[in-house]
Structure formats: structure tokens, C-alpha cells
Structure 1
Amino acid sequence: MSEKITEIFGVDVFSDATMVERLPKKTYAALKKTIENGDDLDPNVAEVVANAMKDWAIEKGATHYTHWFQPMTGITAEKHDSFISPTTDGKAIMEFSGKELIKGEPDASSFPSGGLRATFEARGYTAWDCTSPAFLRKDAAGVTLCIPTAFCSYTGEALDVKTPLLRSMEALSNQAVRILKLFGHQDVKRVSSSAGPEQEYFLVDKAKYLKRDDLIFSGRTLFGAMPPKGQELDDHYFGSIKERVASFMKELNNELWKMGVTAKTQHNEVAPAQHELAPIYATANIATDHNQLVMEYLKKVASRHGLACLLHEKPFAGVNGSGKHNNWSMSTDTGKNLLDPGKTPHENIQFLLFLSAVLKAVDLHADLLRVSAANPGNDHRLGANEAPPAIISVFVGAQLEDVLAQLIETGEAKSCKDGGRLNVGVHTIPALKKDATDRNRTSPFAFTGNKFEFRMVASSASIGAANTVLNTIVADVLCEMADELEKASDFDLAVHDLIKKTVTEHQRIVFNGNGYAEAWVAEAERRGLPNIKSMVEAIPALISEKSVKLFGKHNVFSATELHSRAEIMYESYSKAINIEAKTMISMASVKFIPAVIKYTKKLADSINSIKSAVSDADVSVQSELLKETSALLAKTQVALKKLQGAVAQANAIADGAEMAIAFRDIVVPAMADLRAPIDELEVIVDKELWPVPTYGDLLFEI
């Protein structure tokens, strides 16, 4: 099997090995300079690359190509063009020019722009991102050459996820290289941020999925009572994978491997029907592209197996939701991980400087990290038992906590704790080498050996926003540090003083305890750490004076681009809640209320039939059920009218921010009020009459 993996891995990618094979040496060298050093792309080079890429794709059956981009919808977009070009003799040839490779022009009028573009102004451009390799996608449409691209407006503003991410990667590289040169690393020309997103998801039977309007329209169950069993036995976590799911996972891996996605780990997650896929890390840009492919193929392959994949953050109330743990680090072009502490981190001054820079960045810009993980679904998850709280803190572990304490107390760290060895008490099992620190699953931003794991990212969202923020805030702190250290007459003394000062001033962000505990909420408030509980509360951080200055300084976002994104986020929140509320109104009106009426009629007919047959018969059970059901039905009708009014009230508001606030404060509570009696009715009404599959049907029957 290992030989098969090596044979199929990357076969559908225009990879470095393929370019070496198919490009002239000078062309390959010029393209590599652009990719690795950020040099301008020569149009003549693009022409040669385009021809080679076209020949390779056609040999593999491709008929079309597309500029594959990531607008601010959370998913990818594409417009397909064939390679066909007519000739004067009435025939056709297959052509693909450098101009077609470099630039495309999809209609930009209907993509979210947050006011950057008027609806009638349709022109937008896609631009080839040569740092992310082109790939082939095979489906019912045939074989399509997919070219990763950036997407911008006619007036130059970024309309996508990729463009600001690439800008932030460049900003981080520039500032990190400045620091490294001060440490004597003159050979380092570039520093890349890397990411490895762990993707959680649910699988349910597709036939049952199609009977639930809430899953179809909103991606989550808007109604549903808990079954007798949930996840309390912890028997699903890392349990044996069911045959049907295993078959799905096998095909998914094959599809991803062909496109160069390094799918590595797969297992059952905590909740029933929940699973996880984790890749080997890549540069943040490629990792973002690959995660979009992972989400797309999770859904596509699931459908082939009669399953439906749910990427929503909280598809089922009462069991764990899904996140996307974004493992982030920084590496040089010489192969050095800048967050690797080594065996003696207390002596690794370079590592301690970069570590302190991350601590300061997270402390100063916790609000931006929070908004980078915000979407409507995450409001149901963050702060619950399975997820980090909405309070940003950093877990560093016992070893680094001790090193930082020494720095704060004396200005110098002279020792560090060793992990030691673990003896399990069985002679046939050797003593195991322990890590120097335990893990903390309650921390939203945890150091895990040689990287930070940002655990707040939403399962359905692109990781682009989170990595853009991480890159930029760390770049800004490194910039300040480089400015100070470049002026120092004694670098060694200055860098020690800077580390101590930074760690001391930002020690409040370090928390190694239980992030789920109520006591932490009070402690975080005492420390002055923000507790931003909802997406709507988080959005203003994007357009604060501090943020506009930060992103502008590093050319990641202009003020206009930030305001547009804030507007898009308000609008997306309102639209998501509006869809959910309208779906609830529809399901209550045409499914649940009629089903309950049928049940009450059945009860009433039963009571009358029994009394007709035996006048003094005991019908107390039926009468009690009828009374209880009728009361809940009346409560449902009242809540339904209330929700209809709340939706109308929120939709009447013109201002985007005020509308989002109204949906959060008025509509969401009204939705909860409608759900409550219907969930109660679910456990009373005859299952044969209940119009949708239950939680038990969805979570346990695949």
C-alpha cells in the first residue's frame, strides 16, 4: 500500500518535479526565483510555463482550465474555459497562452465586496499565484486544470482570502529576516509561515439528511431532542471506524493524495458521527488552498457513499461541535523552525525572542485573533465544553512557564525542566521518554512543541483569515523589536533586556490552567483580557484605529478593505440567522404543527372511541397526553408568531451593524423559544408521525 501511495501522490499536480521535467532549465530557474524570492514574473517565462502546463494537462485528459479563487464567501469559485481555439480551415487546436495563465476576468458584481464595488460595476481580475501549484480536478465535467489565483477588483482592492494572506506572509518574512540577520544568519533570505489545519466534520446518512430542511438550508439542526445516549460514554472517540465511514475515508485519501494534499491522520472524534482529518503542515498559503480542497472533497466523496458531510460548527445541540485547529509556525528557507526550542530552551536566545514576540502579539491583538475565528456557527461552539472559551490566552506548558518565570524574576534563565522518562509498571514495556510538558485542550492558543495551535478557528471557515492575522500581528512586533535591536550598541545585552521586558509586560496572556472553568472567566477579567462572546461583538475590532494602522503599516489591508470586510461580516451574520429563522418558521408551520395536530386528533379519537365502548374506562393517560401536547402546541404557535415578528423587525433595519445586532439580540432568542416546545413534543409524539429523522436516527444510524 505504501508503494501505491508514493505512486499516486501528486500525480495530478503540476509540481516542482513535473516542472523540472517539462520546463527548459532557464525557465525553471526564473520561475523558482519568483516563487522563492518574490521576484517579478517575466511574461516570457509565463508563456513557456503556460504551454508546458497545457500539454501536461491535455495529456492527462483535460479539456478546460479555470482560475480557481477564494472570494469572501467562505468557499472557492471558478469559471471554466476550454483549451479549444478555432482555425481558419474550420478545425480547432488546443491553446493556452501566458496571458491566459497570468490573468483572468470573472464577473465580480455578485461576489461580496462590502461596498467596494457597485452592482453594475462587474469587472474583476484573477491573477496567477505561482507559489501554489496548479492541479487537475476530475469529476463529471471531465478533467479541469485548476490554477490557484488571487482575486481583486478593477480598482485594485482585494476581494478574496488569498491576496491579504500573501501580503501578510511577505510582511512576516521581511521582519523575521531582519531579526535573523542580527543573530548572524546572513544566509536566510525568506521566512515562511506554515500551517497544518486539523479538520473536524460529521457524517450522516444522505437519505436522512435530505429529509431535514434545516440541514439542507443552514447546515445544522435547528430542532432536535437528545437521544437516550450521546457522547457520555466516550466510546466513539478514537473508536473503531465503521465500515461505511472507512470506505469513504479510503476514497477521500486517494482523491486528496492525487492533488498533493498530505492527508495524514484520520480518526473518530468525541461526538457520535464526528470525525477528523489532519494533514502534514505546509506553507500557510498552500495549506489554505489545500484545506479548501479538503472541505470540498469531504462533501463530494461523502455524497458518493450515500453520506452527507456536515462542516457546521454546531450541527447538533448537546454534543460536541467541530473546530479546525490551526497549527502555525515560522520556518526559514534554510530549513530552521523558528519556534523549535531545542533541548535547552533557556539557552536558546533566538527562540526566546521569537516566543516573546508571539506572546506580545497575541496579548496586544487578542481581539483580532478572535474576529479571525468568528462566524455565526462558532457562536454556538466557543465557550462550550468541547471548545476553547471566547477568551484568548496562551498555554506554554510547565517547561516554558518555568523559563519565563526565571526571566521575569532575574532577567536570566539558568535551567529548564526535563521531561524525564515514564515507567508504566510493566516489564515488557520499555520506559518512555516524556515530553517536557503536557498538552492543554482547553487553551485557545497553545504551544505544542515547535508550533502554536490556534484552536478557535471555525470548522466551516477558511484558515486564511486566521493566518493573515497571525502573520501580521507577529510581523508588527518583530518590526518593533528589529527597530530597537538594530540601534543597540551591545546586541547581546539588548536582546536579553528586550526578552525580559516583553515577557514581563505581557505575562498576563499566559495561562496554563483549565480554560473551561468558571474561575478562569473571573481571573481573565481581573487580568484585563477581553471576553468577546459573539461574532457581532468581535467585528468592530477589524475597523478600530489600532487595526487600520497595523494592517496599513504592513500593506496587508487598506482602511477601505477593512471596512468592506467588516460590512461583509455583518451582512453574512444577518443573512445566516435570517435563513435559519425562516427555515424554522417553515418547518414549524408545514411539518411540526401539522404532525402534532394529527397526533392530538389521534389521541382525541382514541379517548372518544374507548369511552363509547366502555363509558367508565380509564382514559387518564390519553387525556394527560392530550392536555400536555395541546399546551405545547399552543406554546409553539405563540413562539412561531413571535419569531415571525422578530424576523420582520430585524429585516426592516437598514444599517448593517444594527441589523446584525437585532438578529443576535431579538431573532436568536426567538428561535430558541420556538425550538424548546417542539423539542419537547418530539419525545411525546408518535415517532411514526414525527416528520423528520431524529438525532438518534442521524447520529447512530450510518
Structure 2
Amino acid sequence: MTAVSEIFGCNVFNETVMQTRLPKNIFKSLKKTMAEGTELEPEVAEVVASAMKDWAIEKGATHFTHWFQPMTGITAEKHDAFISPTADGKIIMEFSGKELIKGEPDASSFPSGGLRATFEARGYTTWDPTAYAFVKDGTLYIPTAFCSYSGEVLDKKTPLLRSMEAINVQAIRILSQLGKSVTRVTTTVGPEQEYFLVDKEMYKKRKDLILTGRTLFGAKPPKGQELEDHYFGNIRTRVSEYMKDLDEELWKLGILAKTKHNEVAPAQHELAPIFGTTNLATDHNQLTMELMKKVAERHGLVCLLHEKPFAGVNGSGKHNNWSISTNTGENLLEPGKSPRENTQFLLFLAAVIKAVDEYADLLRVAVASAGNDHRLGANEAPPAIVSMFLGDELTHILECIERGEIAEETAKCFMETGVTALPRFAKDTTDRNRTSPFAFTGNKFEFRMLGSAASIAGANIVLNTIVAEELEQFANRLEAVADIQAEVMEIIKETVKNHKRIIFNGNNYSEEWVKEATKRGLHNLKTTVEALPTFAYEKSINLFVKHGIFTKAEVESRCEIMLEGYSKTINIEALTMLDMVKREILPVVLSYSKEIFETLKVKQELGFNMSVEKEQAYATKLSNLTESLMSKIDELDKLVLETKNYSDVLDAAKFYREYIFEAMQTLRVVADELETMIPAEKWPFPTYVDLLFYV
């Protein structure tokens, strides 16, 4: 086996490669751009392009692509060959600085939320020099931002980079007032990725999985996750081989895949990387999801990233572990040995507390999707109510500051196992809370509400921006006073007093918390349709415009894109459900019903004093369910036709949620009960037992 250290990053045009292939002055200039965000000179781009092309060709590349992240939530790419014709009818391999810096994909067919008309087609991609280029499948991939001809931002990378710059500027102001000499502050992320694996041949027989990513039908199997025997359990050979192959592919692209294990539900697994800067982490997570699917194909598997592929077992999330670091290597969310004396940490902690409380609705929007609605609040993921877990120690320290008291030093406790041979170790000062949406976990916050298929860009744009806003307010106060330390303590004290309602260390799944949250004035936006309109509220628009993240038009367009996306998702699911039930389920049910009734008729005609009471009851139940199924089909059919009456995106989304989605649920209940009555060999597609337990 090739050593990991030898293959890691071998397909990445990283700093090591740059240093060996670029002239010293060019490398120095590019590195400054990467580290400080300074403007890149055209002559630098020309030299970099030539070196990048030569390196890529040596790696087997024949094409290059500007790789970008439109509002679809996935990535996009258009491949161009390096070839250029010569006068003698041959070709040379060329790649210019202009081609590196700018591309021109069609911008008319990507979601724009009304910012662009179909005839306004021109769009631009521009190289992001803060992210590494890489070679994959014979193509040089160049990470880029994407905008329209008239300048509107149509991607997720541009606002993410803007939000990182916003928090950088405000954090440096704070640190300057605290006497720290720091030139760059970046947010870092480590996104844990949950996913399901199913057999490819089984998958191909399920139209719902192919078209929607989730099962629209499926009776509960005899065994689910109730024995809790899958979580961290022994990894099956077939899955282990897949994970090994996946790790190697990720490592080649410089992705720090670290942890892999079985998750709670059968056929569910997780991959977790080491932290990286938010921009790179976002690129890497998009690549991770893509490679998860591609590598699965090689092993006769299909990787499902939908938030809820199967009813009755846990869905899949993506835990966004977020922190703030300086170019001097300091983690600003590290409490240190004595958190009560670490005023810098407490000040940044206060900024996060205030941000989450004041902009909880935006955080809820950042994770909103039709798929994620199945998870949030289902006792398998955090609820839709946004709150923060800080743990007993930090909560106690903040409460003491609010009262003007000095918190006592927390005594170090050791874990006592009762077995002499086992080593003793110091316990953490607080437990973990897996039910909290936004939990402090030692030196970072774990935002646990994201769905598995989501781009992490949206959540981190919001996180960076709302924290930048609070840091700016704190910096303004600090710059206006002489006694910095006194003002720091006053800021922390005020923040705790005014925003402690957002702190909750208990069970977020309990009904008591729902009632308590209402008393505290916290919103419970249970569905995407309830949450999305808050994104375009005046408060939200003012925030994004102030920090240069979005224009007013861009905020409103994104709200429209998300609402349209929700409606389109439910519409596709409804049409798929109707197709499956009409063309697959109903014919089987009618055919089997005919067999049952013919058998019953024969027994009745034979006489012989044979009781047919049970057969009659069974036949009657089957008949009633069939009649109910047909009635539910008609109802859903009519409702789908009614959607044409709604031109307003919010009204349409509400109709889909309140009527279409509910009609789908009732149709499914009937179909799933019929599944339990039809012989397994007659049921038209693989069942949950087939899908979840045959990997």
C-alpha cells in the first residue's frame, strides 16, 4: 500500500508545488494574495497559468475548467481543452493568464431569482486564488467565483469570501484594542458528513430514490435502529472497502478525511475531516459529496445524501464545527486553562451569544430545505428552535459576571472507572449535548442543524456575518473608551443579561423546552416555508447590505430561489409518487386482490361447511385499502393541478406544504399498509429490509 504521506495532496497545485514551479517573486506575490487577500497582478497570473498548465499536463490533464458553486447547491463546470491550432495544422498546449482569471459560462440557465432574464445570458467566472487548483478525471479544476454580466452575485463562494473578510476586519479591530498584533483572522470549519449506502441494483428498482433521493413509500421493517447495534459497530467488509477507497481519493485532493464510522441507522455512516479555513472547507465538502457518490459506483453501491432517505430511522445531517483563528495560530474560541480569567475568550464568546440570539431566524433559514424539514424536531436532530449549549462551567462563569461576582475556579475531576489497571484521566468540565442546535464543544461551536445534502456555504455566510456585526458593535465601544478592560467586562455583563434566553443546556427534544422557549420569546419555525420569508426581512437585508455580503436585490432573489426550490422539490416528489402508485403499486394490488377474491369465491362455492370469515375480513380490508388508495390518488392529482393557480412564490410554497405534502403523507400511509398485505415476491420494488440490510 502506498503511504498516505506520499499520496496526500498529490493532485493539488498547493504551496509545495507552487514553490518548486514558480519564480520566487511570483510565489511570494501569490502567497501574499492567498494570505492577505491582496489584489493579484496580471503578470503574476500569466506565470502561474503556465506553471499550472505544465503541472496539470504531467498529471494527465487535457482540459481545464472553471469550477464554481451556483445557487443550485451543487457545483458546475465547463471543460475546455488546452489545445490551440498551429499554422502547420497541428496543435500546441496553451493556457493563458486571461483564461486562468476569467471564464464565460452561460448565466441564463442557473437560478437567479429574477435577477437575470433568459435572454441575458452572459456570466463570468473568476479565479479564486485563495483556494487550490487540482486535477481530477483528466481535467485541471480551477476554483472560481461566479457573477452575471451586470455584476449580480449568482454563486455561494463570493458571499462566503465577503463574509470571511467582514469578520476578519472586525475581529482585528477587537484584538487591536486588546493589545494583540494580528494581521489576519479567519474562520475555520470541520463539517462532519453523514450518508447512507444502498446496493446499486436495489436502488435502480426504486424510482423514488432515483428521482428524489428519498423513499416515498416503504413500510416499517421488523428491525430498525432500536437495538442501537449499528452505531460505532463493526464496519462490513464491503463498506470498509468503499471507505478505504474514498479516503484515498480524498487524500489525493488534499482533503483531510480523518474519521469514519457507522452511524445510528442501519446502512448509515459518517465521515469527518480535520478543520480547514471556511473557504477551503466548503470546496472540500462539495468535492467530498461528489466523490462519495462516484466511489460508491465502483463498489456496486449508491451513496444517498438526502436528509431523510428512509422513514422510521434517523436521517442524515452535517455538523458544522465552526471556530475563529488568527494568523499567529491562536484559536479565539479557546477558553484556556482558566476561562473565567480569559477576557478575550469571553468577549468573543459574548459576540457569538448575542449574534445567535439576535439572528436566530437567519440561522434557521441557513439550514432550511424540504428534505431537512423531515429531520428537524424529529428527535433525531436538533429541533427547529435555535438555542445554544454552553455547558455548566461557562454558564456559571457568565452568570457570575452578570451578578458582578467572581466565579470560583473549577476543580479538576478525574474519571474513576473502578478498575485499577485502567489509566486515570481528567474529565472535561462539562458534558456534551447532542440535542442542541448550536453547542460549544471545547474550542468551537458545533452547528448541528444542517442537512446532509446542503452546501455549508449558506450556514457559514450567516455565521460569519452575524458575528462580524456584533464584533463591530463591540469594537465601536472599545475604541471610544480609555479603560478597555472595564468596558470589556461591561460588554460581557450586558450581553449575558440581555441575551441569556438563547442559552439552554437541557434536553432540546422535550416538550417542556418547547413551552419554555415560547416563554423566552424564541421562534419555533418548524418548516422551511415558515422560515424562509425572514431572510428578506428589513433587518436581514440591512445586515447583509451593511457588511457588503449581498445587495438588497440579491437577498430578495435568494429568498425567491429557496422558495421556488422548495416548491419544485415537493412537486417532483408528488409527481413521482403518483407515477409509482399508478403504474407500479396499484396494478399489483388489483392483481393480487383478484386472486384473493377468486380464491374466496371458490371456497364459498364448494360449501362443505367451511368457514370463510377470516378470508372475508382479509378480502374486505384489502378492498377498503384499495378503494382508499384510489381515492388518495385522485385527491393528490387534483391538488397538483391546482398548483398552477399560484404565481406568487410564497403562496405556492405554502400550498405545497399545507396541501400537497399532507396529501402525500396520507397516500403513503395507505400504500405502506398495503405493502404489509401483498406477498413479498409480488411487491413491485425493493422494501426497507432489502435496502437497509443487504449492503
Indicate the TM-score class for this superposition, using the shorter chain for normalisation.
over 0.9
Output the CA distance in 2 between the equivalents of 1:294 and 1:622.
54
Tell me which residue corresponds to 1:399.
Answer: 393
Tell me which residue corresponds to 1:631.
Answer: 624
3-state SS in 1 of match to 2:187 = strand
1:248 to 242, 245, 263: 242
Output the CA distance in 2 between the equivalents of 1:573 and 1:493.
49
Tell me which residue corresponds to 1:589.
Answer: 582
- Cα offset, 1:303, TM superposition: 1.2
Output the CA distance in 1 between the equivalents of 2:90 and 2:573.
52
Tell me which residue corresponds to 2:686.
Answer: 693
Q: Deviations over 1:369-400 (max 9, x none)?
A: 00001111011110011100000000001110
Output the CA distance in 1 between the equivalents of 2:408 and 2:689.
54
The structure-2 alpha-carbon separation of the partners of 1:481 and 1:92, relative to structure 1 and needing over 3 Å to count, comes to: same
1:682 to 667, 675, 681: 675
1:346-425 residue pairs with structure 2 within 5 A? 346-410=340-404, 412-425=405-418
- Cα offset, 1:502, TM superposition: 1.1
3-state SS in 2 of match to 1:446 = strand
Report the count of equivalent residues: 695
My pick for the range that moved more, 326-335 or 616-625, is 616-625
- Cα offset, 1:415, TM superposition: 2.6
Matched, 1:124 2:117: no
Letter in 2 for 1:78: E
- Cα offset, 1:613, TM superposition: 4.6
1:422-501 residue pairs with structure 2 within 5 A? 422-501=415-494
CA RMSD of aligned residues (A): 1.0
The share of aligned pairs that are identical, in percent, is 60
Output the CA distance in 1 between the equivalents of 2:681 and 2:411.
61
- Cα offset, 1:614, TM superposition: 5.0
Output the CA distance in 1 between the equivalents of 2:601 and 2:354.
74
Q: Deviations over 1:175-198 (max 9, x none)?
A: 000000111112x11100000000
Tell me which residue corresponds to 1:272.
Answer: 266
- Cα offset, 1:431, TM superposition: 1.1
Output the CA distance in 2 between the equivalents of 1:57 and 1:244.
33
3-state SS in 1 of match to 2:3 = helix
The structure-2 alpha-carbon separation of the partners of 1:566 and 1:654, relative to structure 1 and needing over 3 Å to count, comes to: same
1:569-608 residue pairs with structure 2 within 5 A? 569-608=562-601
Contact 1:374 1:535 in 2 (8 A): yes
Tell me which residue corresponds to 1:231.
Answer: 225
Q: Deviations over 1:434-453 (max 9, x none)?
A: 11111000000000000000
Output the CA distance in 2 between the equivalents of 1:634 and 1:661.
29
Matched, 1:178 2:173: yes
Output the CA distance in 1 between the equivalents of 2:27 and 2:16.
11
Tell me which residue corresponds to 1:68.
Answer: 67
Tell me which residue corresponds to 1:160.
Answer: 155
TM-score of the pair, normalised by structure 2? 0.99
The structure-2 alpha-carbon separation of the partners of 1:310 and 1:419, relative to structure 1 and needing over 3 Å to count, comes to: farther
- Cα offset, 1:157, TM superposition: 1.1
What stretches of structure 1 of length at least 5 have no aligned partner? none
3-state SS in 2 of match to 1:170 = helix
Tell me which residue corresponds to 2:652.
Answer: 659
Output the CA distance in 2 between the equivalents of 1:413 and 1:116.
55
What stretches of structure 2 of length at least 5 have no aligned partner? none
Q: Deviations over 1:65-111 (max 9, x none)?
A: 00000000011000000000001111100000000000000011100
Matched, 1:47 2:46: yes
1:61-140 residue pairs with structure 2 within 5 A? 61-138=60-137
Output the CA distance in 2 between the equivalents of 1:486 and 1:146.
44
Tell me which residue corresponds to 1:206.
Answer: 200
- Cα offset, 1:615, TM superposition: 4.4
Contact 2:393 2:410 in 1 (8 A): yes
Tell me which residue corresponds to 2:328.
Answer: 334
Matched, 1:527 2:520: yes
Letter in 1 for 2:377: G
3-state SS in 2 of match to 1:506 = helix
Contact 2:396 2:407 in 1 (8 A): no
Contact 1:399 1:416 in 2 (8 A): no
Letter in 1 for 2:277: T
Contact 2:66 2:103 in 1 (8 A): yes
Tell me which residue corresponds to 1:169.
Answer: 164
3-state SS in 2 of match to 1:228 = coil
Output the CA distance in 1 between the equivalents of 2:184 and 2:608.
90
My pick for the range that moved more, 359-368 or 675-684, is 675-684
- Cα offset, 1:405, TM superposition: 1.1
Tell me which residue corresponds to 1:291.
Answer: 285
The structure-2 alpha-carbon separation of the partners of 1:419 and 1:159, relative to structure 1 and needing over 3 Å to count, comes to: farther
3-state SS in 2 of match to 1:73 = coil
TM-score of the pair, normalised by structure 1? 0.98
- Cα offset, 1:418, TM superposition: 3.7
Output the CA distance in 1 between the equivalents of 2:457 and 2:546.
20
Contact 2:164 2:464 in 1 (8 A): yes
Matched, 1:194 2:177: no
Q: Deviations over 1:203-258 (max 9, x none)?
A: 11111111111111111011111011110000000000011101110110010000
Letter in 1 for 2:541: V
Letter in 1 for 2:140: L
3-state SS in 1 of match to 2:470 = helix
Output the CA distance in 2 between the equivalents of 1:23 and 1:413.
56
3-state SS in 1 of match to 2:151 = coil
Contact 2:370 2:566 in 1 (8 A): yes
3-state SS in 1 of match to 2:53 = helix
Letter in 2 for 1:111: F
Letter in 2 for 1:195: V
- Cα offset, 1:611, TM superposition: 3.9
Output the CA distance in 1 between the equivalents of 2:602 and 2:201.
37
Tell me which residue corresponds to 1:301.
Answer: 295
Output the CA distance in 2 between the equivalents of 1:414 and 1:616.
86
Contact 2:439 2:447 in 1 (8 A): yes
Contact 1:330 1:337 in 2 (8 A): yes
Output the CA distance in 2 between the equivalents of 1:655 and 1:179.
44
Tell me which residue corresponds to 1:11.
Answer: 10
Output the CA distance in 2 between the equivalents of 1:683 and 1:374.
34
Q: Deviations over 1:469-517 (max 9, x none)?
A: 0000000000000001100121111111111111111111100000000
3-state SS in 1 of match to 2:371 = helix
- Cα offset, 1:172, TM superposition: 0.4
Output the CA distance in 2 between the equivalents of 1:611 and 1:507.
73
Tell me which residue corresponds to 2:541.
Answer: 548
Output the CA distance in 1 between the equivalents of 2:204 and 2:322.
37
- Cα offset, 1:541, TM superposition: 1.4
Contact 1:643 1:667 in 2 (8 A): yes
Letter in 2 for 1:314: K
Contact 1:402 1:416 in 2 (8 A): no
Matched, 1:344 2:338: yes
Q: Deviations over 1:288-345 (max 9, x none)?
A: 0000001101111111111111111111111101100000000001110000000100
Output the CA distance in 1 between the equivalents of 2:49 and 2:515.
59
3-state SS in 2 of match to 1:676 = helix
Letter in 2 for 1:230: G
Contact 1:404 1:413 in 2 (8 A): no
